[in-house]
Amino acid sequence: MCAVGGVGVAFTGESQLLRPPGGQDEDRFESLCLKCDRCRSVCPCSCLTIATLENGVINARTPRIDFHKGYCNFCGKCADVCPTGAILPGFDPDGDKIGIAVVDHDECLAFRGGGCERCVDACPYDAIDFSASYPVVDASRCNGCGQCEYVCPSNVLRSFSGSRSTRGINVCLEDEAAS
Amino acid sequence: MNDNKSKSPERGERTARGRISKARGWVALAFIGSVGVGLALHTGTGTYSAFGIDQIAAICPLGALETLLTGQTPTWHVLVGLAIVVVLVLLFGKAFCAWLCPTPWLQRLFRRGDGCDAEVLSPAAKPTEDGRPQSVEPAESNRDEGFRTVETERADGSSLDQEPEQPAEVGDAEQVEQQVENASVRALPPVGGARDGFHLDARHAVLGGALVSTAIFGFPVFCLVCPVGLSLATIIAVWHLFQFNELTWGLLVFPAITIAEVVLLKHWCHTICPLGALISLISAGNRTFRPKVDESQCLREKGADCTACITVCPERVDPHMPMIPECTKCGKCVEHCPVQAIKIPFLK
């Protein structure tokens, strides 16, 4: 059993994942998640998916957020059904963050030719400023709900495995967004 | 496995055979089906690891214990889930193992009838002191042999040659008298199963190892290799393959680990499974739905050395015994008793 634990730790993998709202404390999440699949199953917006072995041995089968499949409306159902509290209830969309949206200048259509304002229109929190004719994210207002990434048309037809899987605007973990 | 039985010519007394096995199959299949419904309809009911509605869910007791040892503080849901499971195990014993767990079915599927529950003793092979059978033969032949033996013994009375143990207080003269008197209907004592009664074994050591390593590493370690969790992970991975085109290593690795465990480690259920070990600790307090032998009908009471119930029992327990926490309520003894003397009533 210790060997199994050791293998788990050895192949944890570097990838940090976007967790469901309330599961942002990664240490706590890793310790308590039983990989029971209830949160992914209950998610009405389909933004929750299951991490794979490629995300690390311990991360495999845990829930992660994929904003290509849906966005988060902070309904809190995933926290309700979590049997261990790995996803803590009481996530506040006005203060807590899943992550922060970051514009990819190479992929954003507004940077490449202009005209696209889909993310600005989609953002329910007025966190994207378009006064400069390209999107600029206000990190203090953005809570990482993912609506911008969900509607972003960039790369949507090339998002199958083997091609680039990022959009013109992508929700990243807070520390990744800062760097 | 049920097909074999229904195709073979059956005697009237064996018509009930397979009915409980079929029911178990349907229950397990219905559970897997509910997971499929959850995948398709976002019901959020869950899997073997946690299953319920909204905030109330039964939880895998091993996983729950592990989360309590990681150093993080789980929410009250864990304790409620654990309480639900304890109540269920007290009520139904180890029924999870026979009615829900996919492992025995996988063993049957991949081991051609030599599954978990095929580790039965032939009627002649009594358990040795270390609890292992002297000879293990394929299940089907064992079962039939068990019945033939019974039939023969009933016909020619050869079983009467065996000396049953007499109580020590019975005097010699009285003993002879009794032997003469009961020559045709002398009751034989229960044989006893190798795993009767409450005892700690290798599974509990694995359970301890799982809990200790969880405390060391700070995450639920056994979940990584749990065949129960991984068999559902396989189903979910296949679902994602078809729904989202997600081609992942899990599609190969999850079933490979599961099959390696349940097929290569032949005695997974009896010697390794820490989940079964934990459930057996709780099921020691189980007093309901235990198999009950109607002694007035049992062939042993009539002097025939029938061991059908013990021979067929996948858990190697004797339904005659009062304390059999390893019983999984699989109903095999009920189905295979040649005189239908065994039932599983609510209270014994």
CA-nearest residue of chain A to B37?
A: A41
For A134, the 3-state DSSP assignment is coil
CA-nearest residue of chain A to B220?
A: A31
Higher pLDDT, A70 or B4: A70
In a domain, A87, yes or no: no
Q: Are residues A38 and A76 in the same domain?
A: yes
Residue-level pLDDT at B113: 52
Cβ-defined contact of A2 to B216 (cutoff 8 Å): yes
Q: Are residues A128 and A166 in the same domain?
A: yes
Distance CA A105, CA B65 (A): 48
Higher pLDDT, B154 or A104: A104
ipTM for the complex?
Answer: 0.85
Q: Are residues A72 and A123 in the same domain?
A: no
Q: Are residues A48 and A106 in the same domain?
A: no
Q: Give B-chain residues touching A33 at CB under 8 angstroms.
A: 220
Cβ-defined contact of B72 to A31 (cutoff 8 Å): yes
In a domain, A94, yes or no: no
Residue-level pLDDT at A8: 66
Nearest to A34 among B45, B55, B220 (CB): B220
Distance CA A101, CA B333 (A): 62
Span of A150-154, A155-159, B295-299 with lowest mean pLDDT:
A155-159
Cβ-defined contact of A37 to B49 (cutoff 8 Å): yes
For chain B, how far is it from start to end, CA to CA, in angstroms?
Answer: 30
Would you give the distance in Å from CA B248 to the centre of its chain?
34
Residue-level pLDDT at B134: 41
Q: Are residues A107 and A60 in the same domain?
A: no
In a domain, A30, yes or no: yes
In a domain, A95, yes or no: no
Nearest to B75 among A7, A60, A85 (CB): A85
Q: Given the DSSP bridges, would you call strands B292-293 and B56-59 parallel, antiparallel or unpaired?
A: unpaired
State how far the alpha carbon of A121 is from the alpha carbons of A41, A118, A155, B26, B255, in Å.
29, 5, 19, 50, 45
Exposure b/e, B226-242, CB count within 10 A at least 16 = b: bbbbbbbbbbbbebbee
Q: Are residues A27 and A70 in the same domain?
A: yes
Q: Are residues A57 and A117 in the same domain?
A: no
- Check whether A153 has a pLDDT greater than 50: yes
- Span B175-211, pLDDT tens digits: 544 544 454 567 888 888 889 988 899 999 999 999 9
In a domain, A91, yes or no: no
Q: Contact at 8 Å (CB) between A78 and A148?
A: no
- Span B208-255, pLDDT tens digits: 999 999 999 999 999 999 999 999 999 999 988 888 877 888 899 999
The mean pLDDT of B307-321, rounded to a whole number, is 92
Q: Are residues A17 and A46 in the same domain?
A: yes
Q: Where does a domain end: A81, A112, A146? A: A81
- Span B140-153, pLDDT tens digits: 444 444 444 444 34
Q: Where does a domain end: A27, A48, A81? A: A81
Cβ-defined contact of A161 to B245 (cutoff 8 Å): yes
Nearest Cα neighbor of B106 from B243, B97, B287 is B97
Q: Give A-chain residues touching B240 at CB under 8 angstroms.
A: 49-50
Q: Where does a domain end: A32, A49, A81? A: A81
For A172, the 3-state DSSP assignment is strand
CA distance B110 to chain A (A): 24
The mean pLDDT of B336-342, rounded to a whole number, is 92
The mean pLDDT of A30-42, rounded to a whole number, is 93
**CATH code where residue A142 lies:** 3.30.70.20
In a domain, A89, yes or no: no
CA distance A131 to chain B (A): 37
Domain count, chain A: 2
Q: Contact at 8 Å (CB) between A107 and A62?
A: no
Provide the residue range defining the domain that includes A163.
100-178
Q: Are residues A140 and A112 in the same domain?
A: yes
Q: Are residues A120 and A174 in the same domain?
A: yes
In a domain, A137, yes or no: yes
Q: Are residues A116 and A70 in the same domain?
A: no
CA distance A34 to chain B (A): 6
Q: Are residues A159 and A112 in the same domain?
A: yes
Q: Residue B302: which pLDDT band, with cuts at 50, 70 and 90?
A: confident
In a domain, A93, yes or no: no
Whole-number percent of chain B with pLDDT over 70: 74
Q: Residue A11: which pLDDT band, with cuts at 50, 70 and 90?
A: low
- Chain pair A-B, CB pairs under 8 angstroms: 161
Cβ-defined contact of A61 to B43 (cutoff 8 Å): no
Q: Give A-chain residues touching B56 at CB under 8 angstroms.
A: none
Residue-level pLDDT at B36: 87
